[in-house]
């Protein structure tokens, strides 16, 4: 009876083995070669995402420099003005960079609150609280402006102050097309009365049906400018729809003030922030691994997956490959987001170098049974150097390369310390981790957690002004 049961168990194990891996004897070692399910899955998803991003967003300007576009667009003063915009070109044959950020690129200001960016936003809101409604004398329209922006020879600025107070003794305003006395939703009444500072006013969703007096000129004029979100740092300006469309911004026709919109949330896209002005899209560390800057970028990733990752997964199995790929990719992205917070990046840069970190470990473990181990190591080093050179191109991140390799090495040492733990050798010995393996695994986990807490709490190490490439006075934009 026991012999029959043993034969039945053997047949079941053999069936499972043929389903998930093939058995092969190499240099006296009975190895199980797994099917590379994870490689096929990741590669398929990345190709589909790349094609979908191009299908929905199209191709951006192709090249390695900037491309200038110039046109005459309608200004808030209802005259045509010459505007120039400089667009970053994409060498990888893919969408515009702003579209990639919208799709989930690794971009630190979308993942945690950046103190320098929000200090600049607060400065703009404070300046907006000192603006008024600039009304053209001929009645063609009005727009929100400061004293310097309102042309005094053809327009009148309706502005309240401590000397000339507005309704209910207000000293901030007026706002074109909006007043708390003529708004039913949200209603300005205790305990939710609108504050005196107009930069804290909500957006009026439903105006009152009460008759507005003729002396309230700022409520009778036609508004020629609304908030437009531009660039990647959450800047906003009051402008026309034509101008906003030309610079490829986000136009808010229902808002009257820039303080009423969250421009950084518009730039980031994805899921809205849980709290206003508190970015929390930390999942970009994961999503950016499946994005590519274009067709060429995706093709390079496919080559590495097919010639390196696929063969490695046949040795170590899909579960260890998943831990290696995701762990090194997320770890590399974390460090990159700390060191390069304002540089958007896409692609599995850290994951690919995490794969390369596993190969030297296997090479050292099997050096006695490999015919030319040093030649194999030389080829691996040369290929890695080539990828570092590619990392100098736009949207490819060498910091993610370096630290992806380091995190991958820690994961490799935690899962590959002996012959039996390095690859799937037939038998149960590889299932019991050694003390050394546990040490490396704990160290890798600690480094990942340390990088995460550093990323969340660190203040940006670069000056925000060094990363802002636009001049509003000259109407020149770089997006």
Question: DSSP readout, 116-141?
Answer: HHHHHHHHHHHHHTT-EEEEETTSS-
Q: Any idea which of 149-153, 247-251, 437-441 has the lowest mean pLDDT? A: 437-441
420: nearest Cα among 412, 411, 433, 429: 429
Q: Say yes or no to pLDDT of 188 above 70.
A: yes
Q: What is the model's pLDDT at position 25?
A: 41
Q: What is the model's pLDDT at position 309?
A: 92
Express as a percent the part of the chain with pLDDT over 70: 79
Residues 6+ apart with CB under 8 A from 274: 280
Give CA–CA dist 411/331, Å, rounded.
Answer: 11
- Give the pLDDT band of residue 24 (cuts 50, 70, 90): very low
Give CA–CA dist 342/97, Å, rounded.
Answer: 13
Sequence-distant contacts of 438-445: CB under 8 A, at least 24 apart: 438/414, 439/414, 440/410, 440/411, 440/413, 440/414, 441/410, 441/411, 441/414, 441/415, 443/410, 443/414, 444/327, 444/331, 444/407, 444/410, 444/411, 444/414
pLDDT single digits (tens) 280-328: 999 999 999 999 999 999 999 999 999 889 988 888 888 889 989 999 9
Q: Any idea which of 11-15, 82-86, 146-150, 298-302 has the lowest mean pLDDT? A: 11-15
Q: Say yes or no to pLDDT of 462 above 70.
A: no
Q: What is the model's pLDDT at position 256?
A: 93
DSSP single-letter state for residue 32: E
What three-state secondary structure class fits 448? helix
Mean pLDDT across the chain: 80
Q: What is the model's pLDDT at position 467?
A: 42
Give CA–CA dist 173/130, Å, rounded.
Answer: 7
Q: Say yes or no to pLDDT of 455 above 90.
A: no
- Give the pLDDT band of residue 83 (cuts 50, 70, 90): confident
| Residue 21, φ and ψ in degrees, nearest 5 | -160, 160
| Residue 66, φ and ψ in degrees, nearest 5 | -115, 150
Tokens at residue 310, please? 């696929």
- Output helix, strand, coil percentages for the chain, rounded to the nearest 5: 50, 15, 35
Higher pLDDT, 475 or 164: 164
108: nearest Cα among 352, 457, 471: 457
- Give the pLDDT band of residue 95 (cuts 50, 70, 90): very high
Give CA–CA dist 58/87, Å, rounded.
Answer: 15
Q: What is the model's pLDDT at position 457?
A: 57
Contact indicator for 332, 354 with CB cutoff of 8 Å = yes
| 235 strand-pairing partners | 230
Give CA–CA dist 135/77, Å, rounded.
Answer: 10
pLDDT single digits (tens) 329-366: 998 998 888 888 888 899 998 999 998 888 777 777 77
> Where do the domains of the chain lie?
21-55+283-459, 114-270
What three-state secondary structure class fits 386? helix
Q: What is the mean pLDDT of residues 406-422?
A: 69
Higher pLDDT, 376 or 163: 163
H/E segment holding residue 360: helix 349-365
Q: Say yes or no to pLDDT of 58 above 50.
A: yes
Higher pLDDT, 423 or 248: 248
| 30 strand-pairing partners | 25
The pTM assigned to this predicted structure is: 0.80
Q: What is the model's pLDDT at position 10?
A: 42
Q: What is the model's pLDDT at position 473?
A: 34
Give CA–CA dist 293/256, Å, rounded.
Answer: 36
232's torsion region: left (phi>0), alpha (psi -120 to 50) or beta?
alpha
Contact indicator for 130, 139 with CB cutoff of 8 Å = no
Higher pLDDT, 427 or 186: 186
Residues 6+ apart with CB under 8 A from 48: none
Helix intervals (H) in 29-132 = 37-57, 97-103, 115-128
CATH 1.10.940.10 fits 21-55+283-459, yes or no: no
């Amino acid at each position: 009876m026991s012999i029959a049961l043993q034969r039945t168990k053997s047949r079941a194990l053999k069936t499972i083995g043929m389903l998930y891996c093939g058995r092969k004897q190499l240099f006296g070692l009975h190895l199980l070669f797994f099917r590379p399910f994870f490689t096929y899955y990741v590669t398929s998803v990345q190709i589909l995402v790349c094609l979908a991003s191009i299908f929905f967003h199209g191709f951006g300007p192709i090249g390695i420099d900037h491309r200038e576009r110039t046109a005459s667009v309608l200004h808030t003063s209802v005259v045509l003005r010459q505007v120039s915009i400089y667009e970053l070109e994409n060498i990888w044959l893919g969408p515009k960079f702003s579209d990639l950020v919208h799709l989930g690129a690794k971009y630190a200001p979308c993942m945690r609150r950046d103190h320098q960016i929000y200090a600049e936003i607060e400065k703009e809101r404070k300046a907006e609280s000192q603006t008024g409604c600039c009304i053209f004398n001929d009645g063609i329209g009005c727009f929100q402006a400061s004293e310097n922006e309102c042309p005094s020879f053809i327009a009148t600025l309706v502005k309240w102050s401590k000397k000339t107070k507005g309704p209910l003794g207000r000293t901030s305003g007026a706002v074109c097309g909006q007043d708390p006395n003529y708004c039913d939703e949200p209603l300005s009444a205790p305990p939710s009365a609108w504050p005196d500072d107009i930069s804290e006013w909500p957006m009026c969703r439903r105006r009152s049906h009460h008759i507005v007096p003729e002396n309230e000129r700022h409520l009778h004029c036609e508004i020629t400018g609304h908030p437009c979100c531009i660039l990647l740092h959450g800047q906003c300006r009051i402008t026309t729809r034509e101008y906003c469309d030309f610079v490829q911004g986000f136009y808010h026709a229902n808002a009257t003030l820039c303080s009423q919109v969250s421009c950084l949330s518009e730039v980031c896209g994805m899921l809205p922030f849980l709290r206003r002005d508190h970015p929390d899209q930390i999942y970009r560390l994961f999503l950016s691994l499946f994005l590519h800057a274009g067709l060429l970028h995706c093709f390079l990733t496919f080559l590495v997956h097919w010639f390196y990752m696929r063969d490695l997964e046949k040795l170590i199995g899909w579960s260890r490959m998943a831990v290696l790929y995701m762990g090194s990719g997320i770890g590399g992205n974390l460090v990159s987001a700390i060191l390069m917070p304002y540089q958007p990046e896409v692609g599995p840069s850290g994951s690919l170098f995490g794969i390369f970190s596993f190969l030297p470990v296997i090479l050292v473990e099997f050096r006695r049974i490999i015919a030319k181990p040093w030649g194999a190591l030389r080829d691996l080093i040369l290929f890695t150097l080539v990828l570092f050179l590619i990392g100098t191109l736009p949207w490819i991140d060498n910091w993610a390369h370096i630290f992806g390799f380091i995190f991958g090495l820690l994961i490799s040492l935690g899962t590959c310390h002996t012959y039996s733990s390095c690859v799937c050798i037939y038998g149960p010995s590889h299932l019991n981790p050694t003390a050394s393996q546990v040490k490396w695994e704990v160290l890798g986990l600690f480094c990942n957690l340390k990088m995460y807490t550093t990323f969340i709490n660190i203040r940006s190490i670069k000056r925000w002004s060094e990363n802002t490439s636009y001049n509003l006075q000259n109407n020149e934009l770089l997006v």
